[in-house]
Amino acid sequence: MGGHSVVFRNVVDDELWSLSIRNPKGHPLKELCMQILTDAKTNQLDESKYMTVLNTFKK
């Protein structure tokens, strides 16, 4: 199977949290991935901002 994948990992307390998205180009979380990459390049990561976005995807 071809395609791309994006994985973001973060340590929260004593746990390792991961966000893994396969073929992010057409995925609804593409904007979140791009925001994390942009913020990482400028050393301005803000986990609470990303969690807020992820919470909008809860069922």
Q: What was the pLDDT predicted at 26?
A: 63
pLDDT digits over 1-46, tens only?
566 777 888 787 899 888 787 776 666 777 888 888 889 889 998 9
Domain limits of the chain? 24-59
Backbone angles phi, psi at 20, to 5 degrees: -120, 125
> What is the C-alpha separation between 4 and 49, in angstroms, rounded?
24
> d(Cα 49, Cα 54) in Å, to the nearest integer?
9
Q: Model pTM greater than 0.85?
A: no
